[in-house]
Every structure is written in C-alpha cells, then in structure tokens.
Amino acid sequence: MSGHHEVEEVLEHEREELEEAIHIEKHNSIEPVPEEYKDAKPLHQFWIWAGANIAPINWVLGALGIVLGLGLWETVLTLAVGNLLGMLLFGSFVLMGQRTGVTQMVLSRSAFGRRGAYLPAIFQIIIPTGWIAINTWIILDLTATLLELLGIPGTALTKVIVVLVIMATQVGLATLGFYAIRSFEKWTVPPTLLILVAMSVVAWTGGDVNWSFAGEAEGAERWTAMSQVMTAIGIGWGIGWLPYASDYSRFVPRATSRKRLFWASALGQFVPVLWLGLLGASIATTGTGVDPGLVIVQIFGALAIPVLFLVVHGPIATNILNVYSMSVAALAVDIKIPRHVLSVIVGFFATLFTIYLVFAGDLAKNLDAWLASVVAWVSPWAAIMFIHYYIIRRENIDVAALYQRPGESRVGDINWGAIACLVIGLAVTWSFLYGLVPVLQGPFARALNGLDLSWAVGLTVTGALYYGLYRLGLVNPGGSRSGEEARQATPAEEPAQRGTGV
C-alpha cells in the first residue's frame, strides 16, 4: 500500500507542476521570490541548463578548432579545460539567485547602483535578442534540410513560414514563464539526450572519423587557434551564461543544498557543451564540413529525419531562456510593461532579425560577432559582480535596497566607480580580443598574431581594479552591511515593478 501511495503522491506532484506550466507564472515580476513560491530542485536546474546547451551551435563551434588547424585531441583538451573553468564560475553565479531570490540584473544594482545597473541591463537586453535570431536561424537550416528530405523545397517563403512557427513556439513558452520552461526542459531533455547518444554512436562508428587527426597549425599559430577556441566554446561559452544564472535559481529554496545546486547547474553546462564539441570536432575530421544539416544527411543517412526533428529542441530550449531573461532584464531598467508582454515584443523584433538573416547572412561572421560581443561585456561585468558579491558583501546583499526608488536607495543611484571599471574593462577586453571581423580585432591581439586573451584579461584586470577602488573608498559598498536585517524590511518597489504581476 505504501508503494501505491508514493506513486499517487508523485503523480499528484507532476500534475501540479504541469498545471503551473500552462499558466503565466504566479511570480510574474522581478520582485524577490517569496520562499513559499520556491519549489524548484537542483535537478530542474540541470535539465534547464543541459537543454539550453544541447544545441547545434555547439556542434558547429566544436568543429572550429579543426577548421583553425588544431588536432582533434588538442581541440578536445581546450574545450575540456575551458568549460571546466567556465562551469565553476557559472555555478558560483547560480548560488547568488538561490540566496537572494532576485534576478541577475536586479542583483547588479548592489554593485552599480539603482540606476547605474541600467548599463549592464541594456547589454542583457540587446545581446539575447541577437542570440534568439541566430539560434532560430540555425534551427531554420536544420529544418530546411528535413523539409527537403520530405520533398518540400526550401524556398525563401518556406523558410519565413518556418521562422514564424518556431518563433511562436519559443515565445509562447517564455511568455508563460519559469514553470513552463522548467516543465519543457524536464520532459524533453532526457529523450533528446538519448537521440544524441544514438547520433554519437552512428557518427563515431560509421562516419570515418580520423581519431588521430593532427591538424596543420604549428608553433605560435597553434596557440593562437587554441586561444580562439577557448574564447568561442571554452570558458567564453560558460561566461556568456553568467547574466542568466540567477533568473532561474531564484526559484530554488534557500534550504536546498548549495553543493547539490552548484554541481547540478555546472554539470548541466559542462556535459552537453563538451559532448557536442567533441561530436562536432570529430565529424569535422571526416571532411564533410560543419553545416549541421549537410552533416546529418551525409553522416546519419536513414536516421536523418528523427535526428533532425529532435535536434531542433536544443535551440528552442536555448531561446526560451534568451526571451525570458531579456524580458526580466528590461524590467530591471524600470520599463512599465508586464514581463509576458515584453516577451512577445522581444519575439517580434527577433523574428524580423531572423528573417533578415534568411536573405543575408554569413555563418562565421554572424556567430563570431555575437560571441565576441558577449565575451567583451560579460567578462568585466562578471569580475565586478563576483568581487562585489563574494568578497565585498560576503554574500550578504541588502535585498530591500535593490527595490527602493532611484535617488532613495541605500545602494546609491549610480556607482561611478563600478561604471568606470566596466567601461575600462570593456576597452581592455576588446584590446585583447581577436574576432573574425576587423572591428572585433583589438590592437594587442593583432600585435600577438591573433592570440585571444580577452576573457582572461577582462576578468583579472577589471576584478583587480574594482577591488582596488573599493579599498580606496571609491566604490559604494552596496547598502546596509546587515543583509539579513535588510531582508526583513519591506522593499519600496516602484509602481512599474508592482504592475508586472498578473
């Protein structure tokens, strides 16, 4: 009887989760999530982040090392080391959301000031919008290949229709909010992982992979290639997700094991990125190219249709996070529009950009432009936030002050010291950045023959500068020193924020 009772409890829990998923989230704002609303588990975080990273873009980027002249195992080693560093940093940002219950851009107010945080929030509005379009464009290529296998010509009109259908799916899920995202990832990631296992077996046993592929790059050219892979899909990839982390971990109860949450989230990043990177790199040694649709047809043969059908899950799972996080970032700049309405607006503009890419777009340049811009701003911002949260505030954030009105908040209005560090950090990061387009090639990177140290320089220089200014008393410490006392106060939220509930 006890076993039957346990089954009934599990079924009831699943029913409640699905009931939450089909309605706009009950905490439809950027106010701190009350403990009674926090019911997310570490495993949910694993599914969310694994789903976001099981995407063809990682497959394409995995082949980058081979394209740049690296050997297969050099590429894999670079991916492994880079993603290990990236996942450790990512896990530390996930813990911020669990402890404070607020989004990442609202948390930025503690370091940058009540309105000073508008600057990083604006970056977090613009960059994800571009990612939504690029990820949808990659879905479009895969879907067009599938349609051609079914006898449907991949005309421009067909592609536009596909864009509209896919974008509606992504925006619909993101509009409903966290609970819909959680359920979507929870139920779709496991079967997608099984398909990826099948893909890997077929590719590695029947795809003529050259496991001893050595590459042509030597000496300084080899180090340059490794640095560019490190930035694109190594630590640079993990860094790119830092501004999103707290948006989802804020729904995890404070009583949940921090260790379990850390590793569930970090491994959700690490496993799929390294796996798909290895798959992409190994397939690239066969000489079939890096276009996902073409590779699927040439390598997987009869499996092409089911594989294509399920692989499109990855970018959709990624874009629902982009749409959701962009909408809560917009609320952080005090836009007086409900979150779910903002999601629809984001989808509209991303759809226009995606349709533009249908008619004009080079894969390498479009991908690199956005990847480079992400690393360029996230590295210095992340350094400031890490130093501020873990060293200056010691995880004790004055949460109530984050929601006080501009000009009245204890965190200050604009923390010019933090703003200066971010601007200087942006300049320093760019100077060591070596992208595929001239404007993204900094002077020091060019002087070093293309060696890309952007992420490392951005993190270390900005972090050291911010801490130095703090020691000199030139940085606002971020409100009350007693975070727990501040937590018990009632935030003086603005009408714009109170109006975001449904």
**Which pLDDT band holds residue 489 (cuts at 50, 70, 90)?**
very low
Model pLDDT, residue 391: 97
H or E segment to which residue 18 belongs: helix 2-21
Closest of 210, 158, 206 to residue 303, by C-alpha = 206
Q: What is the pLDDT of residues 245-254, one digit of tens each?
A: 999 999 999 9
What is the rounded average pLDDT for all residues in the chain? 85
Question: Has residue 194 been placed in a domain?
Answer: yes
Q: Would residue 377 count as lying in a domain?
A: no
Residue 372 has what pLDDT? 62
* 474: helix, strand or coil: coil
Q: What per-residue string of b and e applies to 159-183 under the rule 16 or more CB within 10 Å gives b?
A: bbebbeebbebbbebbbbbbbbbbb
User: Is 50 exceeded by the pLDDT of residue 392?
Assistant: yes
Q: Which of 491, 425, 463 is nearest to 89 (CA)?
A: 463
User: Would residue 1 count as lying in a domain?
Assistant: no
What is the domain count for the chain? 1
Q: Which domain covers residue 91, as residue numbers?
A: 40-364
- Report if residue 347 sits inside a domain: yes
In whole angstroms, what is the distance from residue 115 CA to residue 113 CA?
6
Residues 30-47, mean pLDDT to the nearest whole number: 93
Whether residue 313 is predicted with pLDDT greater than 60 in this model: the reply is: yes
Q: Is the pLDDT of residue 21 over 70?
A: no
Predicted confidence at residue 496, as pLDDT, reads 38
pLDDT at residue 287 is higher than 90: no
- Helix or strand holding residue 364 (H, E): helix 363-386
First and final CA of the chain: distance in angstroms? 41
d(CA 238, CA 242): 7
Mean pLDDT of 368-386: 83
- The residue that leads in pLDDT, 349 or 498, is 349
How many angstroms separate the CA atoms of 31 and 81, rounded? 37
Read off the tokens for 200: 């890997």
pLDDT for res 371? 63
Residue 155: which residues within 8 A CB-CB, separation 6 or more?
A: none
- Domain of 241: which CATH number? 1.10.4160.10
pLDDT band at 374 (very low <50, low <70, confident <90, very high): confident
Of residues 17 and 102, more confidence is placed in 102
Q: Token pair for residue 474?
A: 């030139």
Identify whether 392 is part of a domain.
no
Percent of the chain with pLDDT over 90: 55
Centroid of chain to Cα 34: 25
Residue range 97-106: mean pLDDT, rounded: 97
Task: Annotate 159-173 with three-state secondary structure.
Answer: HHHHHHHHHHHHHHH
Distances 269 to 14, 197, 250, 366, 378 between C-alpha atoms, Å: 25, 17, 18, 23, 17
Dist. CA 312–CA 139, nearest whole Å = 6
What pLDDT digit, counting tens, does each position of 108-146 carry? Answer: 999 999 999 999 999 999 888 888 888 888 777 777 777
Give a yes or no: residue 300 inside a domain. yes
Q: Which amino acid is at 453?
A: L
Reply yes or no on whether the pLDDT at 80 is more than 90.
Answer: yes
**Of 55-64, 180-189, 420-429, which has the strongest mean pLDDT?**
420-429
CA dihedral angle for residue 105, residue 108, residue 114, residue 119, rounded to 10 degrees: -70
- Of the listed ranges 51-65, 270-284, 367-381, 403-417, the least confidently predicted one is 367-381
* 389 Ramachandran zone, left/alpha/beta (phi>0; psi -120 to 50): alpha
pLDDT at 249: 98
Q: pLDDT tens, 320-343?
A: 999 999 999 999 999 989 998 999
Name the token pair of 9: 């409890």
Which pairs count as long-range contacts for 497-502, CB under 8 Å and 24+ apart, including other chains?
497/29, 497/30, 497/31, 497/331, 497/334, 497/403, 498/29, 498/31, 499/336, 499/338, 500/28, 500/29, 500/30, 500/331, 500/338, 500/339, 501/27, 501/28, 501/29, 501/338, 502/24, 502/28, 502/338, 502/340
Planar angle of CA 156, 136, 345, nearest 5 degrees: 100
Range from 36-40, 205-209, 246-250, 370-374 carrying the lowest mean pLDDT: 370-374
Residue range 276-285: mean pLDDT, rounded: 92
445, 375 contact by CB (below 8 A): no
With a pLDDT cut of 70, the percent of the chain lying above it is 83
- Give a yes or no: residue 48 inside a domain: yes
pLDDT score of 45 = 97
- Which of the four pLDDT bands, split at 50, 70 and 90, describes residue 60? confident
In the block, residue with structure tokens 């956005």: 370
- Residue 293 reports pLDDT greater than 70: no
Within-domain flag for 108: yes
**Contact yes or no for 368/148 (Cβ under 8 A):** no
What is the biggest distance separating any 2 CA atoms in the chain, rounded to whole angstroms?
73
Least confident span in 261-275, 286-300, 383-397: 286-300
Residue 178: pLDDT band with limits 50, 70, 90? very high
Tell me the two tokens of residue 225: 């290639």
Residue 499 has pLDDT above 50, yes or no: no
Confidence of residue 486 (pLDDT cuts 50, 70, 90): very low
pTM, rounded to two decimals:
0.89
Is 151 or 446 the better-scoring residue by pLDDT?
446
